[in-house]
Amino acid sequence: MADPTAYEIRKGAYYDSVVLMQLQRALTGLPGVRDAGVVMATPANLELLAQNDLLPDRIDPAPEDLLIVVRADSRSPADAALRQVDELLARRRTVPAGHYRPRSLKAAAEMLAQAEWILISVPGRYAGAVAREALDLGRNVFLYSDNVPVEQEVELKQYAAAKGLLLMGPDCGTAIVNGVGFGFANRVRRGSIGLVGASGTGIQAIAARIHQRGAGLSHALGTGGRDLSSAVGGISALHCLELLASDPDTKVIILVSKPPDPQVATAVLQRAWSAGKPVVVDFIGHPAPAQRLGDVHFANSLSATADLAVELLEQPVGPRTDVRAPKRPNHRSCLRGLFSGGTIAQEALRGLQALLYPVFSNFAEPHLADPLVSHGHTLLDLGGDEFTVGRLHPMLDNDLRIRRLRREAADPQVALILLDLVLGVGAHPDPAAELAPAIEQALAAGEIELGVILIGTDEDPQDTDLQKSRLIEAGAQVFEDTGQAVSFAAARLVEGRRREADTGFLSRPVAAINVGLETFYDSLVGQGAQAIQVEWKPPAGGDERLQAILQRMKG
């Protein structure tokens, strides 16, 4: 380093990141000071200092130590700056007269017994233990801290779920509960749209747009960015959907997330399906499986998501016509799709995979091991090469499909069969004449249902109305498009019941305990919430060896 520098290491001295930022800015404003760095001496922070030519040579601080570095025009102003550190720290906001700050969560919980929330923004290596203590105290948690190991996140969320508590995070930057913003939140009016988000800025963008459209939010609940990963399994998202589905003040629900794990997406969409109220889904950057599946609607941008939720809020909510008690016995739970149109099969698969997992096929992942043998939920393109070698396409010849239909109907696991029937010039001149008897025979036992997607016009040579009436007489449900058929299938195969959740803690006035960033405490108080700031320090001064000893003693 060309310019003279001075540094100081303060062993085990902890300050939150806002205080450190303020101190760093104050030091850089002193006469003769060119640059300054004020950090907890973690490896990542030391690397940042090195990149900015501020890391002194031959130092070896511990991660729990405070490192202050000043680079100045000469040695004198550098040393003078270090001598002012304590004075500058003392200028930070002091506790008002008569206000006591407890030094532990337990003491804070005793002081503010009505607090149902604990906000945590301490360094990630301590955050899990603080969150566990908050859950032990029976409080819901807003966990802003990042760098919490994913294994610890799963453990904490499972523990919270077992206790009936909500844990938002880790790395949850935004939430709004009963009109009070947690973390980084926009001031928006109260209303009837509930929001579940695994994207903090996504929540903010949608909330702001809803406010601009003249509507408002009941609650916005964050999950943390990893919640919909395969490792975490959507634990918080599922809980949040359950809460908003049970909340009488929420009329429309929004779910926004970065692209989720496919299996987790299915579980979350199944929960959305059973919410009993409209749900708008935006998996950012992920193709929507359909425009709509029952009461689950899909959008492809943050603004479109907000706009659609506002529009749904203004529409009267009628009973769902696609939901009724299935005729199938309980042991029948599988879907089979026998399609002649490849593109129609692709569209059906995309919609079905949103709500059923897995759906095997002969043209997309997961592939059937043998296209001649169905497994679980199976959807086939019978126009694929493996089925058309040496025989006519199924749009001309129904023989292969009728034979496969009989086999699928005889499978004791099958509850529902979907077909397509594509009319037009060059296609079979009267396909329903052959398919209708086979459908009637398949349905004769009364244990399965069958739907047909009929594609045709009133000018097609097959007489579309005649084809439709024959299919209906045979007992089939007939649909004009793929989305209707997928909704029909989901209504029969997706679990439609949901648990009623206790939402009282969402509707009661917010009272919270804040551990970490004081700006979050200031925000709570500024919004009229009752709040207490904990004067938190790392246990054992941040010494990991002593922490382990203390933990064993507690155990």
Please spell the DSSP secondary structure of 393-439, one letter per residue. -TTT--HHHHHHHHHHHH-TTEEEEEEEEE-STTS-S-HHHHHHHHH
Higher pLDDT, 21 or 151: 151
Residues 482, 478: Cα–Cα separation, whole Å: 11
Give the three-class secondary structure for 533.
strand
Residues 88-144 pLDDT 10s: 887 765 555 456 789 899 999 999 999 999 999 998 889 999 999 999 999 999 999
Angle at 122 between CA 118 and CA 123, to 5 degrees: 145
Count Cα atoms within 13 angstroms, Cβ side, for 368. 19
Start-end of H helices in 166-234: 200-212
449-455/414-422 β-pairing: parallel
Are 55 and 49 in contact by the 8 Å Cβ rule? The answer is yes
Tokens at 516, concatenated: 């970490």
Residues 229-265 pLDDT 10s: 999 999 999 999 999 999 999 999 999 999 899 999 9
Residue 533: strand pairing partners: 514
Phi, psi of 280, deg, nearest 5: -105, 125
Q: How far is CA 8 from CA 31, 32, 178, 433, in A?
A: 19, 18, 45, 90
Tokens at 325, concatenated: 């008690």
At 175, is the pLDDT very low, low, confident or very high (cuts 50, 70, 90)? very high
Residues 338, 344: Cα–Cα separation, whole Å: 11
pLDDT of 551: 60
Higher pLDDT, 538 or 54: 54
pLDDT of 355: 92
Asked whether residue 42 carries a pLDDT value surpassing 70, the answer given is: yes
Fold identical between 105-313 and 334-493?
yes
Q: CATH topology for 334-493?
A: Rossmann fold (3.40.50)
Residues 397, 229: Cα–Cα separation, whole Å: 45
Phi, psi of 553, deg, nearest 5: -65, -40
Determine what percent of the chain is predicted with pLDDT higher than 90.
73
pLDDT of 97: 46
Residue 298: strand pairing partners: 281
Residues 531, 534: Cα–Cα separation, whole Å: 10
| Range with the poorest average pLDDT among 55-59, 117-121, 150-154, 344-348 | 55-59
pLDDT of 389: 86
**In the chain, where the domains are located:** 5-90, 105-313, 334-493
At 11, is the pLDDT very low, low, confident or very high (cuts 50, 70, 90)? confident
Helices 150-162/124-136 angle, 10° precision: 10
Distance of CA 16 to the CA centre of its chain: 29
CATH top class, domain 5-90: alpha beta
Residues 518-555 pLDDT 10s: 999 999 999 999 999 999 888 755 555 655 555 655 65
Are 101 and 534 in contact by the 8 Å Cβ rule? The answer is yes
What is the model's pTM?
0.85
Are 244 and 219 in contact by the 8 Å Cβ rule? The answer is yes
Residues 121, 16: Cα–Cα separation, whole Å: 9
The Cβ of residue 394 has, within 10 Å, a number of other Cβ atoms equal to 29
pLDDT of 98: 52
Give the three-class secondary structure for 543.
coil
- Spatial neighbors of 19 by CB under 8 A, at least 6 apart, are 89, 92, 518
3-state helix, strand, coil in the chain (%, to 5): 40, 20, 40
- Spatial neighbors of 133 by CB under 8 A, at least 6 apart, are 105, 106
pLDDT of 1: 45
Residues 279-329 pLDDT 10s: 999 999 888 888 999 899 999 999 999 999 999 998 876 555 454 445 555
CATH code for the part of the protein at 105-313: 3.40.50.261
Taken in order 381, 477, 299, 177, the sign of the CA dihedral is negative
Phi, psi of 396, deg, nearest 5: -110, -30
At 330, is the pLDDT very low, low, confident or very high (cuts 50, 70, 90)? low
Residue 28's region, left for phi above 0, alpha for psi from -120 to 50, else beta, is: alpha
Are 253 and 196 in contact by the 8 Å Cβ rule? The answer is yes
